[in-house]
C-alpha cells in the first residue's frame, strides 16, 4: 500500500479510478462498412484501443491495490478481429471470463464487468480475414472464432453495446448461437430470450452480415429473426444493420420494440414489405435510415413504404431514404406510386432522399421540359425542415444535358423556401457524376440564407474485409 500511495502521490482512490476510466476503449457506433470508409480514423481508433488495453494490463501488474481498480475497466470491453492473429486473444478472453472464480481482490466474476463487445474482419496492423482464407484450416478457425464470440455474448449479462460483423453460411455463424429457437409468438417468454439471458441492459446494436449469396444461410442470417429477437430487449434504443437480406419464413415478431429511437439499415437487400413490418414494430422512432444495395422490386412501389413511415409522423426528426439501387417495374409506370408528402411530419428537420420515387418516374429532377409537371419540391417537404439532401439517379445530373441554373425545380424551390420552408438552411444535391458549377442558383439561395452544396455521391463499395 505504501508503494502504491507513493507512486500516485497519495491521490484518493476515487480520483485514480476516474483517471483510469480515460483508458476505456473507444467505442464504434457504426457497422464495419461505414467505419471503414474513413480508414485512417478507424486504424487510429483500433491502435489507440490496443495501447489502452496494454496500459491497463500493465497497471494491473503493478500492485494488488491498483489491480482491483484497473481490472473492471480492462474487462469492460472486448475488441477483436476474426483473423488468424485474432483467434488466440479471442480464446484467452473467452476462457478468462468463463472462469467460475472471482477476479483477484474482487467479489464479482469478470463476465459481469463486460459492457462492450466489438469485432472486425481486419485490424490496424493489416491482418485480415480475407488474406487468411487460403491457409489450411481457415474455415475451422473462422467457425471457431464466431462460436466463441457468440458464447462470450451469452455469458455477459450486463452487456450494453454490441458491434459485430459476421459471416453467416451453412458452416459458419454468429447469430445461430445467440438467437432463440424459432419457437413462434405463442411460445413461453422464456423460450424467446436473446443470448440466453435476454441482454436486459443492451442499449446499442451494430450488426453487419456477410453471406455466400442471396438466400444462403437463410436460417442463421434472417434479418426478420434477428429483429424479432431484439424486440425482447427492453433498453435497446439504437439499432444499426448493414448487409442484411430478406430470407427465411415471414413469421410475426415476438413483440414490438419498446424503446427504439434510431433505426439505420444500410447496404441492404430487403423487400419493402419487410421494411414496413420493422418500422411498424416500433413506436416513436426519431431517426430512420434505409439504403438499398440492390433490389428487384416488380410488385411494389415507394408508396408502399409510406404507412410504415406515417406511424412515426409525430416523432421523426431525421429521415434518410435511398432507393436509388431499387429496380421498379418502370414499364408499368402508370401503376407505380411515389412515396408521398412529408408535410405531416411536424418534427422532421433532416431529409435525405433519392430522386427515385420521390416526385415522379417520368420526369427527372433536372429535366427542363416536364411534359407533366410533378409536384413542387416544397410541397413534399416538412415545414420544420432545416437540411435537405437529394440523391440524383444516374443520368439526371447536369453532365447529361441539363444545368442547375436552368432547372425550373430549383428556381421554384428558391421561390417557395421563405413561405413553405422557413427553417431550411442547407441543401445538398448529390450525384454519381460531377455536378457543374451553378453560380446563379447558388447565389439566389444564398440571398435567402440557404447554403447550396453540389457534391459527388459515394457509390463505390468499401472493401468488406480489410482496412
CB 393 within 8 A of CB 354: yes
What pLDDT is attached to residue 461? Answer: 41
**In the predicted model, what is the mean pLDDT of residues 142-170?**
96
Residue 451 located in a structural domain: yes
Domain holding 378, by residue range, is 332-458
Query: Over the stretch 13-23, which tens digit does the pLDDT of each residue have?
Result: 888 888 899 99
Q: Is residue 326 part of a domain?
A: no
pLDDT in tens, 25-54: 999 999 999 999 999 999 999 999 999 999
**In what helix (H) or strand (E) does residue 60 lie, and over which residues does it extend?**
helix 39-60
- Does residue 167 carry a pLDDT above 70? yes
Give the pLDDT confidence score for residue 26 in this predicted structure: 96
**Residue 433 resides in a domain:** yes
Lowest mean pLDDT among 342-346, 394-398, 445-449: 394-398
Does residue 421 lie within any of the structural domains? yes
Residue 258 has pLDDT above 70, yes or no: yes
Confidence of residue 196 (pLDDT cuts 50, 70, 90): confident
Quick one: pLDDT at residue 218? 47
More confident residue, 343 or 68: 343
SS3 190: helix
Q: Dihedral of the CA atoms 388, 207, 267, 275 (nearest 10)?
A: -70
Question: Quick one: what percent of the chain has pLDDT higher than 90?
Answer: 63
113 phi, psi to nearest 5 deg: -85, -20
Report, as an integer, the average pLDDT of 106-126: 94
Bridge partners of residue 321, in order along the sequence: 290, 353
Domain-located, residue 86: no
Q: Rounded to the nearest 10 degrees, what angle do helices 408-420 and 439-447 cross at?
A: 10
Would 449 be classed as within a structural domain?
A: yes
Is residue 325 within 8 Å of 293, Cβ to Cβ? yes
Give the span between the Cα atoms of 174 and 385, in whole angstroms. Answer: 40
Is residue 82 in a domain? no
* Residue scoring higher pLDDT (104 or 210): 210
Q: What is the mean pLDDT of residues 377-403?
A: 79
State how many domains the chain has: 1
Q: What confidence score (pLDDT) does residue 357 get?
A: 82
For residue 353, being part of any structural domain is answered with yes
CA distances from 427 to 273, 340, 382, 391 (A): 30, 20, 14, 11
pLDDT score for 103: 75
**What pLDDT score was predicted for residue 285?**
98
Instruction: Please tell me the pTM assigned to this model.
Output: 0.90
Map grid coordinates 476505456 to a residue.
24
Amino acid at each position: 500500500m505504501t508503494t502504491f500511495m507513493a507512486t500516485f502521490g497519495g491521490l484518493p482512490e476515487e480520483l485514480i479510478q476516474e483517471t483510469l476510466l480515460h483508458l476505456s476503449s473507444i467505442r464504434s457506433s457504426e457497422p464495419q462498412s461505414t467505419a471503414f470508409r474513413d480508414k485512417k480514423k478507424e486504424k487510429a481508433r483500433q491502435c489507440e484501443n490496443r495501447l489502452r488495453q496494454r496500459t491497463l494490463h500493465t497497471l494491473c501488474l503493478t500492485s494488488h491495490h491498483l489491480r482491483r481498480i484497473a481490472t473492471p475497466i480492462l474487462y469492460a470491453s472486448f475488441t477483436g478481429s476474426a483473423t488468424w492473429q485474432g483467434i488466440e486473444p479471442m480464446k484467452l478472453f473467452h476462457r478468462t471470463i468463463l472462469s467460475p472464480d472471482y477476479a483477484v481482490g474482487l467479489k464479482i466474476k469478470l463476465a459481469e464487468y463486460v459492457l462492450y463487445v466489438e469485432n472486425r474482419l481486419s485490424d490496424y496492423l493489416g491482418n485480415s480475414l480475407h488474406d487468411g482464407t487460403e491457409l489450411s484450416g481457415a474455415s475451422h478457425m473462422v467457425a471457431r472464432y464466431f462460436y466463441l464470440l457468440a458464447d462470450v455474448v451469452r455469458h455477459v449479462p450486463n452487456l450494453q453495446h454490441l458491434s459485430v460483423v459476421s459471416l453467416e453460411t451453412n458452416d459458419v455463424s454468429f447469430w445461430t448461437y445467440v438467437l432463440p429457437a424459432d419457437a413462434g409468438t405463442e411460445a413461453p417468454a422464456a423460450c424467446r430470450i436473446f443470448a440466453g439471458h435476454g441482454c436486459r441492459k443492451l442499449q446499442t446494436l451494430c450488426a453487419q452480415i456477410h453471406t455466400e449469396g442471396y438466400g444462403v444461410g437463410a436460417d442463421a442470417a434472417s434479418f426478420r429473426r434477428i429483429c424479432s429477437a431484439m424486440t425482447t430487449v427492453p433498453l435497446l434504443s439504437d439499432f444499426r444493420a448493414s448487409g442484411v437480406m430478406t430470407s427465411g419464413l415471414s413469421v410475426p415478431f415476438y413483440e414490438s420494440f419498446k424503446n427504439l429511437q434510431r433505426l439505420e439499415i444500410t447496404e441492404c437487400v430487403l423487400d419493402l414489405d419487410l421494411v414496413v413490418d420493422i418500422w411498424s414494430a416500433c413506436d416513436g422512432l426519431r431517426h430512420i435510415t434505409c439504403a438499398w444495395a440492390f433490389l428487384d422490386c416488380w410488385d411494389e412501389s415507394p408508396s408502399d413504404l409510406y404507412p410504415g413511415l406515417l406511424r412515426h409522423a409525430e416523432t421523426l426528426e431525421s429521415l434518410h431514404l435511398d432507393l436509388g439501387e431499387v429496380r421498379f417495374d418502370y414499364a408499368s409506370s402508370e401503376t407505380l406510386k411515389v412515396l408521398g408528402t412529408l408535410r405531416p411530419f411536424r418534427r422532421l428537420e433532416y431529409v435525405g432522399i433519392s430522386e427515385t420515387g420521390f416526385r415522379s418516374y417520368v420526369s427527372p429532377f433536372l429535366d427542363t421540359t416536364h411534359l407533366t409537371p410533378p409536384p413542387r419540391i416544397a410541397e413534399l417537404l416538412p415545414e420544420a425542415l432545416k437540411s435537405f439532401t437529394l440523391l440524383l439517379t444516374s443520368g439526371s445530373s447536369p453532365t447529361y444535358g441539363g444545368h442547375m441554373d436552368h432547372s425550373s425545380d430549383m428556381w421554384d424551390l428558391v421561390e417557395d423556401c421563405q413561405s413553405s420552408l422557413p427553417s431550411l438552411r442547407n441543401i445538398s444535391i448529390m450525384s454519381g457524376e460531377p455536378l457543374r458549377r451553378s453560380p446563379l442558383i447558388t447565389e439566389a439561395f444564398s440571398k435567402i440564407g440557404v447554403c447550396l452544396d453540389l457534391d459527388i455521391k459515394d457509390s463505390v463499395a468499401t472493401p468488406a474485409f480489410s482496412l
